[in-house]
Amino acid sequence: MNIEEAKEKFTALVEAQLDRIAALKAEGDFVDYKNKDHIIIGVCGGDGIGPSITHQAERILRYLLKDDIESGRIEIRDIEGLTIERRAAELAAVPPAVLEEIKKCDVILKGPTTTPRKGDEWPNVESANVALRKELDLFANVRPVKIPELGIDWMFYRENTEGGYAIGKEGVTINDDLCIDFTVATQPGCDRIIRAAFENAKANGRTRVTAVTKANIIKTTDGRFLDTFYKIAEEYPDIQADDWYIDIMTAKLLDEARRRDFQVVVLPNLYGDIITDEAAEIQGGVGTAGSANIGKKYAMFEAIHGSAPRMVKEGREIYADPSSIIKAAAMLLNHIGYQEKAEKLERALYICSTEEKKVVLTGRSTGATSEEYADYIMDTVSKL
Ligand code: IPM
Ligand code: MG
């Protein structure tokens, strides 16, 4: 690419972002699920162990929502086709017909999907996760990490549509020696994620919100994020606001004397990606965490681990651990207004995985199947 071509490309990228900002400014408020008389939950199994574990989470949802499914208030819909085979055949991150079905739902429960990478057997289509977050404008990636015995109760609000991810595949290679990528921050994009973090703190009696950036180096975009953070913080005088740089924050999550003091943490996309894996690992592994992707109109709840193709190859998918997708299902229940059921499910997950461990998963035939584990969870819920 010569400089003139690069300029042209840059102009087009800027124009697309300005259009996106106009759309953000025109968007409405969050859906009020409490007052909605028909809610459609779409279920996408995804790839690898996805269909198997997602099916177990769906059984639990059907069990907990039985009455409202019978009355017709809740509808659970299986959505076929969000598979790597179909995405590869159509060369689409999300096949258009599948996206259309997804958009007819209110919320989505989604199993892990394969993200092609250089050198594997798949064409280099964009990650389905990233594409869905952008298509459905799911700007808040909400990832809780709780370790009661260590006094840890963290709530991460990761910006989910901007930063390095907004136009991550649109970087330019000028010549053999020079490549440039872009990172994006918009004012409405910063406003809405930061406000969502403070609102979460306020609604849950949390007293501290922490911003994490690298604004000392990435001065323009992270600088805007941080300035916006302190401006919005003024609207919440009862909540303590502070900020850390990402490097020292990754260290502080390991600092036993300080880490339990963090409560709500809000951060740009890439830092959020990295630090939520670290936090999940502290909790017991990335497979133990749930993840909610929330927008004003849609929301999507997913397991944060991968699709474990090796387990499927070895015929072990019936032994896969469904905990992460079940945790995502609990977040889904909470989001659509079933707080009590969500809390019960979370408690049952904790009892089954930590306190009682009457049924144990080993990932192979030496342990329980995911179905037996889901039965154990439902049995535990029924006693709460
Ligand atoms: C996550 C994942 C995704 C991301 C990948 C699979 C594209 O790491 O949800 O954190 O980078 O956001
Ligand atoms: Mg990640």
What pLDDT, in 10s, does the model give residues 135-147? Answer: 999 999 999 999 9
Residues 51 and 275: their CA atoms lie apart, in Å, by: 28
Which residue, by CA, sits nearest to atom 11 of ligand 1? 273
pLDDT recorded at residue 34: 87
Three-class secondary structure of residue 166 per DSSP: coil
pLDDT surpassing 80 at residue 298: yes
pLDDT surpassing 90 at residue 110: yes
> Could you tell me if 116 and 125 are in contact, meaning their C-beta atoms sit under 8 angstroms apart?
yes
pLDDT surpassing 90 at residue 121: no
Q: What is the mean pLDDT of residues 168-188?
A: 94
- Domains, the chain, in order of start with CATH, read 31-138+295-384 (3.40.718.10)
pLDDT by residue (tens digit) across 343-376?
999 999 999 998 999 999 999 999 999 999 999 9
Q: Is the CB of 113 under 6 A from ligand 1?
A: no
pLDDT by residue (tens digit) across 78-100?
999 999 999 999 999 999 999 99
In the chain, % of residues over pLDDT 90: 89
DSSP code for 215: T
pLDDT surpassing 80 at residue 381: yes
pLDDT surpassing 80 at residue 287: no
**Amino acid type, 263:** Q
Which one, of 319, 331, 337, lies nearest residue 374 by Cα? 319
Q: What is the mean pLDDT of residues 194-209?
A: 96
Mean pLDDT of the chain: 95
Residue 359 C-alpha to ligand 1 middle, in angstroms? 30
> Could you tell me if 64 and 374 are in contact, meaning their C-beta atoms sit under 8 angstroms apart?
no
Read off the pLDDT band of 126 (50, 70, 90).
Answer: confident
Burial of 110 (0-12, 13-18, 19+ CB in 10 A): buried
pLDDT surpassing 90 at residue 236: yes
pLDDT recorded at residue 115: 87
pLDDT surpassing 80 at residue 217: yes
Q: Of 114, 127, 169, 271, which is best to mutate to test ligand 1, by the most ligand atoms within 8 angstroms of its C-beta?
A: 127
Residue 273 C-alpha to ligand 2 middle, in angstroms? 4
Three-class secondary structure of residue 178 per DSSP: strand
